[in-house]
């Protein structure tokens, strides 16, 4: 049943007509507040095609809110987001998915009662088109479609080395594996922008190494652009091409890891200087 081991290069990166290194997404002057609480104030940054972009900052800096704005959970009061050359207005998360944005959550958001296979297959829901009439009959077009997508999913399962838990309900899996399944589900959506919210939170060193390798492989083999939030500075400095630093909802630094590491504002934010 396993796909051939040589199939490790998963699906070809989807071709959205944007050259590697060109701007894939641009966030411009975005502000978001809940009542009187300002979560994000006037933030601008861009994500280039093919890079790994890290968003860091102390707790409560507005990182997750930023991701929520990008994938449509929140609508910012001020500012615009341009994705693949298209400016976006208020939208629902499932619209963002259709545009090619996938995401994982800080605390795992899997479908607990479903198997690993079904969870990842669910990631392909948008790409499956057969109507309920065909599905009722099952044999014929619906089965052909199911098998076509199953093959893609099996490639992802192979890639993430989770063959042995294919049939296990994800609720029974340990945390590290759940995180991996969640990454698998996001990959199944074949996104052009993958948002990872603390992919390594709560992991031990070995699991972090595994996860880092998966992230790099996804980025290099599929050419998927990745924006990630992470608190482990070692991981962030090693993985990312560029880093944007938030503090109290404001952007305080933006640039390559070495530059950010030595930025006085960043050091102050992390060490805590009276504001």
Which of 108-114's residues contact partners 24+ apart within 8 Å by CB, and which partners?
A: 108/175, 108/178, 108/179, 108/182, 109/182, 110/170, 110/171, 110/178, 110/181, 110/182, 110/185, 111/170, 112/169, 112/170, 112/171, 113/169, 113/171, 114/169, 114/170
- Should residue 137 be labelled a site residue for another protein when binding is judged by CB under 8 A? yes
138 sits near another protein (criterion: CB under 8 A)? yes
Q: What is the C-alpha to C-alpha distance for residues 275 and 270, in angstroms, rounded to an integer?
A: 12
Tell me how far, at minimum, the Cβ of 249 lies from another protein, in Å.
Answer: 23
Q: Which of 113, 202, 234, 256 binds another protein (CB under 8 A)?
A: 113
- Binder to another protein among 19, 37, 90, 136 (CB under 8 A)? 136
Candidates 26-34, 59-67, 147-155, 197-205: pick the segment binding another protein (CB under 8 A): 147-155
| Site membership for another protein, residue 132 (CB under 8 A) | yes
Q: Which stretch binds another protein (CB under 8 A): 32-40, 43-51, 140-148, 261-269?
A: 140-148
Q: Which of 128, 175, 220, 238 binds another protein (CB under 8 A)?
A: 128
135 near another protein, rule: CB under 8 A = yes
Q: Single out the residue of 43, 61, 70, 121 in contact with another protein (rule: CB under 8 A).
A: 121
Q: How far apart are CA 164 and CA 233, in angstroms?
A: 32
Q: How far is CA 144 from CA 127, 140, 185, 239, in A?
A: 14, 6, 21, 39
Given a contact cutoff of 8 angstroms between Cβ atoms, the answer to whether 42 and 77 are in contact is no
d(CA 192, CA 223): 8
Number of residues counted as binding another protein (CB under 8 A): 38
Binding site for another protein (CB under 8 A): 1, 71, 92-94, 97-98, 102-103, 105, 109-114, 118, 121-123, 125-126, 128, 130, 132, 135-138, 142-143, 145-147, 150-151, 185, 189
């Amino acid at each position: 049943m396993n796909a051939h081991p040589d199939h490790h290069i998963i699906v070809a990166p989807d071709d959205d007509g944007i050259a590697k290194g060109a701007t894939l997404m641009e966030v411009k002057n975005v502000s978001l507040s809940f009542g009187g609480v300002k979560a994000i104030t006037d933030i601008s940054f861009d994500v280039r095609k093919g890079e790994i972009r890290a968003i860091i900052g102390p707790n409560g800096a507005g990182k997750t809110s930023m991701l929520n704005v990008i994938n449509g959970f929140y609508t910012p009061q001020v500012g615009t987001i341009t994705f693949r050359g298209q400016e976006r207005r208020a939208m629902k998360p499932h619209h963002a998915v259709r545009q090619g944005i996938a995401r994982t959550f800080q605390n795992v958001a899997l479908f607990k009662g479903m198997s690993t296979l079904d969870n990842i297959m669910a990631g392909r829901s948008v790409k499956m088109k057969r109507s309920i009439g065909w599905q009722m009959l099952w044999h014929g077009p619906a089965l052909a479609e199911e098998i076509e997508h199953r093959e893609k999913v099996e490639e992802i399962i192979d890639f993430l080395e989770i063959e042995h838990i294919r049939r296990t309900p994800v609720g029974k899996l340990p945390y590290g594996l759940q995180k991996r399944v969640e990454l698998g589900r996001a990959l199944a959506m074949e996104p052009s922008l993958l948002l990872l919210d603390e992919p390594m939170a709560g992991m031990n060193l070995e699991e972090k190494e595994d996860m880092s390798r998966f992230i790099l492989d996804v980025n290099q083999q599929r050419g998927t652009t990745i924006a990630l939030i992470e608190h482990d500075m070692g991981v962030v400095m090693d993985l990312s091409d560029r880093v944007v630093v938030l503090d109290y909802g404001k952007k305080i630094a933006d640039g390559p890891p070495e530059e950010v590491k030595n930025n006085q504002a960043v050091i102050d934010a992390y060490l805590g200087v009276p504001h």
